[in-house]
């Protein structure tokens, strides 16, 4: 089983997104964080009040965004992308089929910045790579 923690600016919006559009189920939810599960992946969504959002020793603040990834399998990637687009998720590019050159690694991504949601969808044997 894999555990992933994401920093989010709005725990409830993140819970709503992952449960409604990516089929995660809520295991526990608190004002500062939520724990969701899908298959063998447990996702911890840590909001601004969570201990994970405390400043680092050098003063930097953890923040949403970045290039973290996890894989969510789907039988119909195009349908998943259409559902996400209908929900207002913006994509950086269209679906990309692999294998790809190293220079192409940043393509095929979508983003809703600053604590909303960000993901990258790349078709590879019917798996979608999703991340923050």
H helices of 22-118, where? Answer: 77-86
pLDDT at 25: 98
pTM confidence score: 0.63
- Over the chain, what is the mean pLDDT? 76
H helices of 2-122, where? Answer: 11-21, 77-86
Give residue-wise pLDDT tens across range 23-79: 999 999 999 999 999 999 999 999 999 888 888 888 888 888 766 666 677 888 889
b vs e for 33-48, b when ≥16 Cβ sit within 10 Å of the residue's Cβ?
bbbbbbeebbbbbbbb
Contact 65, 53 (CB under 8 A): no
pLDDT at 20: 94
Which residue in 68, 75, 64, 73 sits closest to 10, CA to CA? Answer: 64
What backbone phi and psi angles, to 5 degrees, belong to 96? Answer: -115, 130
Which two three-digit tokens encode residue 86? Answer: 């209908």
CATH C-level class of 2-131: alpha beta
Most confident of 23-32, 76-85, 122-131: 23-32
């Amino acid at each position: 089983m894999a555990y992933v923690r994401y920093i989010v600016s709005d725990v409830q919006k993140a819970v709503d997104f992952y449960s409604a559009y990516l089929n995660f189920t809520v295991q526990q939810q608190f004002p500062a964080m939520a724990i969701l599960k899908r298959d063998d992946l447990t996702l911890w969504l840590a909001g601004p009040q969570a201990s994970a959002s405390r400043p680092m020793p050098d003063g930097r603040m953890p923040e949403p965004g970045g290039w973290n990834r996890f894989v969510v399998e789907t039988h119909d990637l195009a349908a998943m992308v259409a559902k996400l687009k209908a929900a207002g998720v913006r994509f950086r590019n269209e679906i990309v089929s692999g294998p790809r050159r190293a220079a192409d690694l940043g393509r095929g991504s979508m983003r809703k910045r600053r604590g909303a949601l960000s993901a990258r969808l790349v078709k590879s044997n019917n798996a979608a790579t999703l991340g923050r």
